Amino acid sequence: MPRSAVRLHDSANEDATIAEPLGDSRQFWRDAFVTVRGETERRAAPLSAEDQVVQSMPDASPAKWHRAHVTWFFEQFLLHPFAPSYRPFDERFAYLFNSYYVAAGPRQARPQRGLITRPGVAETTAYRAHVDAAVAKLIEATQDPERVFPIVEIGLHHEQQHQELMLTDLLHALAQNPTHPAYDPHWQWPRGKRANSADNELVAGIHTIGHDAASFSFDNERPAHQVLLQPVRVAPALVTNGEWLEFMAEGGYATPSLWLSDGWAAVEAHGWNAPGYWQRRDGAWFSMTLGGLRAVDPSQPVCHVSYYEADAFARWAGKHLPSEAEWEVAARAEALDNAFGAVWQWTRSAYSPYPGYVAEPGALGEYNGKFMINQMVLRGSSLATPAGHSRKTYRNFFYPSARWQFSGLRLAEFER
């Protein structure tokens, strides 16, 4: 199952990440590379060739494309600059599998990735093996580890992001099939993790947020900086399906006053009357999951809701979504149930740069900074996030209408 994913070292909390040891760094990075690359293939293993080529909407990408794109990333940013003797598997792949790195050259349009029927799955696997061998050779032989190993590291974190996207995108594709096929028939929701307190955590005052440790972080998590929080209580529990059913029963999707203007326009345009992948059958609600179509469990966290829906629910409940700073301070206090490993949690914070933010130099600077507009921040991690890829400072971001991610919410309210 997806949550049995890679953990590169043990940790007492969810801040586990890929961290270079004090000993043999070459051996560490060889092992880390093999582990992460193997996890991608493990996730792809249940998929047929047809599963791997389908693109069910412009925002999603085929599994085969994900597998090839993360391989191109290592080829483009690691092998070409640091392995002079490297020869590309196929020069045309640079066009087919670049994503949005304009500085790296032209690329296939995102909505047309499903049209790339060739190379096939077998050739994509061979491409991965070709690059894997070259990267292993480079790790072993490089005389410039101070520059090479940081790019190996960011490449592995990048691949872990795409491991999650493989499952979110695949679930959207499987949900279009009226026979409701399962990615894994034995899939189950992960067990919840309780917080230290059953009470709403009161956060207030001046706090430091953002990444300030020596371990890996993306540039959008930096620099660490101080924020002033008004007294606010953050709920320890995620909003559940049962609570969402109450919202629906009280006309939540039919009450314009609960919705932001753009949110209500989305409700009307798309006919939303329940979370994504929900459908009513014989008077009961079911949801498409990685295990196929399952009855909605009122006790589980609500999932596949947009920011617009999360905001409307919070207004219906007489509360609001926490800001990302409020969320992080509460998470640092270990006061949140299921902060990690269930659903990403919408915050009311727009995705924007931290004070003093500086993008990475070169083409890698396109990784995060140019998307800091018109999107909202989600915090935590989801059931599809690879183990070892979660931390309290991680900033995920999506457009407010997005529902195909494993996204949910928790509530907050100002102290009166």
Give tens-digit pLDDT for 308-341. Answer: 999 999 999 999 999 999 999 999 999 999 999 9
pLDDT category at 366 given cuts 50, 70, 90 is confident
Query: Model confidence over 136-151: pLDDT tens digits?
Result: 999 999 999 999 999 9
Residue 10: the pLDDT is: 31
d(C-alpha 64, C-alpha 121), whole Å: 6
Q: Residue 292: which CATH number?
A: 3.90.1580.10
* CB atoms inside a 10 Å sphere around CB 332: 16
d(C-alpha 125, C-alpha 132), whole Å: 10
Residue 4: the pLDDT is: 30
Secondary structure string (H, E, C) spanning 179-214: CCCCCCCCCCCCCCCCCCCCCCEEEEEEEEECCCCC
Are 208 and 350 in the same domain?
A: yes
Are 205 and 140 in the same domain?
A: no
- Mean pLDDT computed over 59-75: 98
Are 167 and 267 in the same domain?
A: no
Provide the domain count of the chain. 2
User: What domain range includes position 45?
Assistant: 2-175
Whether pLDDT at 13 is above 90: no
Instruction: Output Rg (C-alpha) for the chain, integer angstroms.
Output: 21
Choice among 24-38, 183-197, 400-414 with the minimum mean pLDDT: 183-197
Q: Tell whether 385 is covered by a domain.
A: yes
d(C-alpha 219, C-alpha 246), whole Å: 40
Q: Look at 116 and 197; give whichever has higher pLDDT.
A: 116
Are 113 and 216 in the same domain?
A: no
d(C-alpha 329, C-alpha 226), whole Å: 11
Are 334 and 213 in the same domain?
A: yes
pLDDT category at 198 given cuts 50, 70, 90 is low
Could you tell me which residues come within 8 angstroms of residue 84 by beta carbon, excluding any fewer than 6 positions away? none
Q: What stretches of 183-255 adopt beta strand conformation (E)?
A: 201-209, 225-234
What's the number of CA atoms in the CB half-sphere (13 Å) around residue 396?
30
Whether pLDDT at 17 is above 70: no
- Mean pLDDT computed over 354-372: 87
Whether pLDDT at 305 is above 90: yes
- Mean pLDDT computed over 198-220: 92
Are 159 and 230 in the same domain?
A: no
Whether pLDDT at 368 is above 90: no
pLDDT category at 201 given cuts 50, 70, 90 is confident
SS3 202: strand
- Mean pLDDT computed over 209-228: 96
Fill in the DSSP letter of residue 353. P
> What region does 292 belong to: left with phi over 0, alpha with psi -120 to 50, or beta?
left
